[in-house]
């Protein structure tokens, strides 16, 4: 577009026309939205209002508490802490009830604190705080023991009813059906009073561990669960699971699990050494002959990888007085124990036992037989018994 400007010439008085270029104007009309604040402010504000309304109403608290109560309760039941009473207020939980032991109360609190609930952000812990208000159990713990010796499984101690007795005998019968033992000896009696909460669960564990052992077993003494078990590797994981803390009640004592295959391999190596050589003593004494030193060195080397405790067994022939032979066998076993300790084997893993003339391996009517009966044997055992 051009703009025309007319001006009068001073001389000719004729109009002069000048043309100047001008900048074109571009005009666009914008129609404003009918509700300019709707999507920018109102909807987000409305969403925040709904969330805030949910958070301050009793419905929100009830919804949170119900989820916490359900999930924490399920976790306690699964961990066999069903004796614990649960109350929930918001995201705070309190456990109460008569705890069988301090460790049982601590275990229940640990499970409750780890319980998770579904949230908008995924699984989160159900409670921001979990506390305990337990009452100490006043009921005494009955003693119970399950022991496997050879092919016989023995259950002795107290249970609180015939139903519990039948349950334990059913567990023991599984060992018979599985061919691990041939006979079950029932020495169970009924407890004169009640038993602590979860006693049935712990009693079943005693019977189950004993039914899996080749030798040894489990005991519940004063509420303390302990295990001394030589077990086949095939059942090791089951034994470990049964003694895995936290326990549903009681406390965990000493646990010694000896793998039978490892023990047998060790005993085989030691027996091979003693089969070809003998630990010699001066006649009628516990003094080790000096020429036995290299054999003792080899025994220490072979025993380093052995599991459990090494039991040094002393044996004699039947010559002379039985009591004197018993003392001599014990002294010789102790002399070997000390000699192995001097050579670097831990004395804490060595125990000496004298059997005297009670366990002959040959006839005592011949010189050769009596010589064989005067011997030292090495066995892998669970403990110092």
Q: What is the pLDDT of residues 11-34, one digit of tens each?
A: 445 555 444 455 545 555 555 555
Transcribe 122-190 into DSSP letters. Answer: EEEES-SEEEEEEEEP-SPPPPEEEEEETTEEEEEEEESSHHHHHHHHHHHHHHHHTTS-SEEEEEEEE
Do 131 and 150 belong together in one domain?
no
Q: Which of 124, 122, 102 is nearest to 113 (CA)?
A: 124
- Residue 326 pLDDT > 80, yes or no? yes
Q: What's the pLDDT score for residue 8?
A: 46
| Candidate from 55-64, 202-211, 276-285 with smallest mean pLDDT | 55-64
Return the pLDDT at 291.
92
**162: Cβ contacts below 8 Å, ≥ 6 apart:** 190
Claim to verify: residue 358 and residue 301 sit in the same structural domain: yes
Domain boundary among 119, 136, 153: 136
Residue 107 near residue 132, CB atoms below 8 Å: no
* CATH classification at residue 228: 3.40.1520.20
Domain harbouring 341, CATH code: 3.30.1330.60
Q: Are 184 and 218 contained in the same domain?
A: yes
- Percent of the chain past pLDDT 70, that is, above it, reads 81
- Judged against a pLDDT cut of 60, whether residue 60 lies above it is answered with no
Residue 7, pLDDT score? 46
Is the model's pTM score more than 0.85?
A: no
The neighbouring-strand residues paired with 104 are: none
Q: Is 281 within a domain?
A: yes
- Is the domain of 127 the same as that of 154? no
- 243 close to 219: Cβ distance less than 8 angstroms: no
**Is residue 326 a part of any domain in this protein?**
yes
Q: Are strands 144-149 and 116-119 parallel, antiparallel or unpaired?
A: unpaired
Is 165's pLDDT higher than 70?
yes
Cis amide leading into 112 (omega within 30): no
Q: Nearest CA to 135 among 180, 80, 83, 77?
A: 83
Query: pLDDT at residue 54 above 50?
Result: no
Reply yes or no on whether the pLDDT at 37 is more than 70: no
**Are residue 221 and residue 310 in the same domain, yes or no?**
no
Asked if the structure places residue 369 within a domain, the reply is yes
Domain boundary among 100, 115, 136: 136
In which band, very low, low, confident or very high, does the pLDDT at 58 lie, cut at 50, 70 and 90?
A: very low
Same domain, 153 and 255: yes
The verdict on 117 and 187 lying in the same domain is no
Indicate the DSSP class of residue 315: E
Q: Taking the mean position of all CA atoms in its chain, how far away is CA 157?
A: 25
255 shares its domain with 296:
no
The answer on 234 and 177 residing in a single domain is yes
Residue 384's pLDDT band (cuts 50, 70, 90): low
Domain end (from 98, 113, 136): 136
Tell me whether residue 251 is in a domain. Answer: yes
Say which residue, 86 or 18, is predicted with more confidence: 86
Number of domains in the chain: 3
3-state helix, strand, coil in the chain (%, to 5): 40, 30, 30
User: Which letter does DSSP use for residue 98 in this model?
Assistant: E
Same domain, 132 and 166: no
**92 in a structural domain:** yes
The CATH number of whichever domain residue 82 belongs to comes to: 3.30.70
Which of 347 and 14 is assigned the larger pLDDT? 347
- pLDDT tens-place string over residues 228-276: 999 999 999 999 999 887 888 888 999 999 999 999 999 999 999 998 8
- Same domain for 202 and 234: yes
Query: Would residue 1 count as lying in a domain?
Result: no
pLDDT bracket for residue 9 (50, 70, 90): very low
Assess whether pLDDT exceeds 70 at residue 366. Answer: yes
Residue 8: inside a domain, yes or no? Answer: no
Q: Does residue 200 belong to any structural domain of this protein? A: yes
> Which structural domain, as residue segments, surrounds residue 246?
144-259
Q: Are residues 192 and 214 in the same domain?
A: yes
Distance between CA 280 and CA 364 in Å, rounded?
19
């Amino acid at each position: 577009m051009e703009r025309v400007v007319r001006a009068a010439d001073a001389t000719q008085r004729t109009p002069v026309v000048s043309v100047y270029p001008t900048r074109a104007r571009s005009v666009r009309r914008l129609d404003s939205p009918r509700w300019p604040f709707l999507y920018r402010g109102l909807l987000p504000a409305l969403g925040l209002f709904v969330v805030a309304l949910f958070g301050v109403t009793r419905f929100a608290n009830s919804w949170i508490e119900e989820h916490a109560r359900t999930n924490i309760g399920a976790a306690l039941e699964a961990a066999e802490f069903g004796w614990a009473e649960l109350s929930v207020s918001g995201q705070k939980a309190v456990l109460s009830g008569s705890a069988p032991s301090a460790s049982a109360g601590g275990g229940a609190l640990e499970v409750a604190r780890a319980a998770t609930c579904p949230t908008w952000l995924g699984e989160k812990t159900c409670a921001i705080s979990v506390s305990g208000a337990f009452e100490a159990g006043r009921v005494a713990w009955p003693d119970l023991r399950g022991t496997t010796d050879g092919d016989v499984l023995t259950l002795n101690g107290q249970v609180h009813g015939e139903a519990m007795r039948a349950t334990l005998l059913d567990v023991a019968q599984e060992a018979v059906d599985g061919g691990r033992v041939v006979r079950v000896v029932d020495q169970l009696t009924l407890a004169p009073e009640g038993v602590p909460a979860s006693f049935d669960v712990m009693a079943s564990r005693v019977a189950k561990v004993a039914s899996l052992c080749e030798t040894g077993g489990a005991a519940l003494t004063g509420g303390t669960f302990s295990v001394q078990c030589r077990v086949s590797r095939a059942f090791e994981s089951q034994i470990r699971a049964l003694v895995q803390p936290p326990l549903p009640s009681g406390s965990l004592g000493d646990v010694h699990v000896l793998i039978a295959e490892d023990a047998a391999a060790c005993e085989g190596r030691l027996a091979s050494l003693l089969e070809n050589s003998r630990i010699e003593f001066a006649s009628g004494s516990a003094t080790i002959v000096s020429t036995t030193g290299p054999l003792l060195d080899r025994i220490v080397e072979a025993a380093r990888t052995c599991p459990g405790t090494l039991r040094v067994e002393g044996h004699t022939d039947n010559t002379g007085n039985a009591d004197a032979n018993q003392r001599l066998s014990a002294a010789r076993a102790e002399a070997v124990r000390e000699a192995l300790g001097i050579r670097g084997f831990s004395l804490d893993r060595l125990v000496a036992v004298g059997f005297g003339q009670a366990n002959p391996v040959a006839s005592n009517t011949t010189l050769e037989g009596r010589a064989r009966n005067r011997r030292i044997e090495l066995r892998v055992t669970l403990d110092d018994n």
